Amino acid sequence: MIPPLKLDHLLRMTDEFGMFQFASGTTPNKDFGYTLDDNARALIVCSWLIQNDNKKELEGLITIYFNFVKKCLQTDGTFINYIDFNGKVPSKQNTNENLEDVQGRVLWALAEVIMNTKLPLPLRNEAEKLFLISFKQSHNFTHLRAQAFAIKAFALAQKKVPSSRKELFETIKKYADNLVNSFKKNSEGSWVWFENKLTYNNGILPESLFIASELIKESEYGEVGEKTLRFLIGITYIDDKYVPIGNSQWYEKNKIRSMFDQQPEDPASIILVLYQAYKHTGNTEYKKLALQCFGWFLGDNTLGLPLYDNITFGCHDGLNKNGVNRDQGAESLISYLMSHYIVQTLK
């Protein structure tokens, strides 16, 4: 049984500036400030939710998360990711990491806003302006996941930004071709994947190819998407349970996969790709596997322990060999909410 949706912990994790990155237990940990990654995710899921439930809380949250996106935009069209709580200034951490994935996810979030007719027109118009500014900096992503996020974003946005449609299509094809080439380069024998290891958010890669195939009508994209998804399913479904790739040691080709720590972003990623695969192929097995994967949050997992907390309405940050991580931060909560929304559409 799928629990009813509750926004309590989302509201708890958000102040007037944005969504906090981490929590100590269920209390926001202000020492680690905010990230654009989490606020973009939150903007996406709230944009989805408001289409079916026009709650005042959602309107307020969307405004907060969208304003956070605007604060992170730089003059060159890129985005910073980390903002300190004290002073609300960019953190030094922004210079220590590659932020391509963040850029791609923000483009996806902006595209969701642009497409959502339930949102006020001025907000959608402003999102379009930000999207077009950032789009100019997104033609040369080198990370596969950033390219996959860009495909999702551009496939959505091309419906509403006709002036850039040709350029959006060309970039989608460029990135989809890159993914297919990477698949051909790294697949060998029983290893059917885009890279020589399985890491985080794996589902985004085949998901983006299903989307590109639908849009560009290139059958090879869908074929590679399905081959790699079947490979992923074969590794992550064990004894009728979904078992995420553990992040203590990523699963490298010809080595042994780790079972822990299992993190909520991973099942959310799988549910999204299974939903896309079901839409693309009509194969009801993918629908069944998505609903089965959602059970991971509710206790149908390796340890039989629920990650979703039906008292706080938050989600624990992960499953380790000794039990659940007691903290309930932003990424885990949004992963749960996204998964909840998708499986509700599949029921």
Report how far residue 22's alpha carbon sits from residue 191's, in angstroms, rounded to the nearest whole number: 35
What's the 3-state SS for 293-321?
HHHHHHCCCCCCCCCECCCCCCECCCEEC
Four-residue CA torsion sign, 207, 248, 239, 184: positive
Q: What is the mean pLDDT of residues 11-19?
A: 96
Q: What is the mean pLDDT of residues 290-296?
A: 96
Q: Determine the residue type at 334.
A: I
- What pLDDT is attached to residue 150? 95
Could you tell me if 277 and 288 are in contact, meaning their C-beta atoms sit under 8 angstroms apart? Answer: no
- What pLDDT is attached to residue 295? 96
- 258 or 1: which leads in pLDDT: 258
pLDDT tops 70 at residue 197: yes
pLDDT bucket at 212, cuts 50 / 70 / 90? very high
Residue 246 is given by DSSP the state P
- What pLDDT is attached to residue 28? 94
Four-residue CA torsion sign, 192, 194, 199, 200: negative
pLDDT bucket at 102, cuts 50 / 70 / 90? very high
Where do runs of H (alpha helix) occur along the chain? 8-12, 36-49, 56-72, 100-115, 121-135, 144-157, 165-186, 204-216, 219-236, 265-281, 284-298, 330-346
- What pLDDT is attached to residue 178? 97
Class of domain 8-346: mainly alpha
Domain extents in the chain: 8-346
pLDDT bucket at 8, cuts 50 / 70 / 90? very high
- What pLDDT is attached to residue 54? 64
pLDDT tops 80 at residue 241: yes
Answer left, alpha or beta for residue 315, where phi above 0 means left and psi between -120 and 50 means alpha: beta
Average pLDDT score over the chain = 93
- What pLDDT is attached to residue 151? 97
Residues 6+ apart with CB under 8 A from 107: 131, 134, 135, 138, 149, 150, 153, 154, 157
Report how far residue 65's alpha carbon sits from residue 19's, in angstroms, rounded to the nearest whole number: 7
| Poorest-pLDDT segment among 93-102, 165-174, 296-305 | 93-102
46-71 residue pLDDT tens: 999 998 876 788 999 999 999 999 99
Report how far residue 200's alpha carbon sits from residue 337's, in angstroms, rounded to the nearest whole number: 18
pLDDT bucket at 32, cuts 50 / 70 / 90? very high
Could you tell me if 236 and 229 are in contact, meaning their C-beta atoms sit under 8 angstroms apart? Answer: no
68-94 residue pLDDT tens: 999 999 988 889 999 999 988 888 888
